[in-house]
Amino acid sequence: MKGVIINFRRGRTTQKDNQMIIQVESITNRKKAESLVGKTVIFTTESGKKQIKGKISAAHGKKGAVRAIFEKGMPGQAIGKQVSIE
């Protein structure tokens, strides 16, 4: 499956650098998003040299987005890029 990183998980004044919100293609509601919890997410840099792995932790909102926790902090350039979900 493919997904797109929408943004960092954040609050009003804080931002969690290793947690991202991902919109998965063909997932449009919360029930379908909850079925993805526990799956692995892989972000590959544009050069293809580095992969950052994460895990889907929960659904986010009502439109099918999910929260993923990655091993380490994600770069800001990752926003808008594709990830693969296995």
Report the C-alpha gap between 13 and 84 in whole angstroms.
30
Give the alpha-carbon dihedral of 70, 53, 35, 57, to 10 degrees: -20
Domains of the chain by range and CATH?
A: 2-85 (2.40.10.190)
- CA 84 to CA 40: how far, in whole Å? 8
Does the reported pTM lie above 0.85?
A: yes
Confidence (pLDDT) at 37: 96
How many whole angstroms separate alpha carbon 47 and alpha carbon 32?
32
pLDDT band at 56 (very low <50, low <70, confident <90, very high): very high
By CB atoms closer than 10 A (0-12, 13-18, 19+), residue 77 is exposed
In this prediction, residues 55-75 reach a mean pLDDT of: 95
The alpha carbon of 10 is separated from its chain's Cα centroid by a whole number of angstroms, namely: 13
pLDDT tens-place string over residues 5-49:
999 999 999 999 999 999 999 999 999 999 999 999 999 998 888
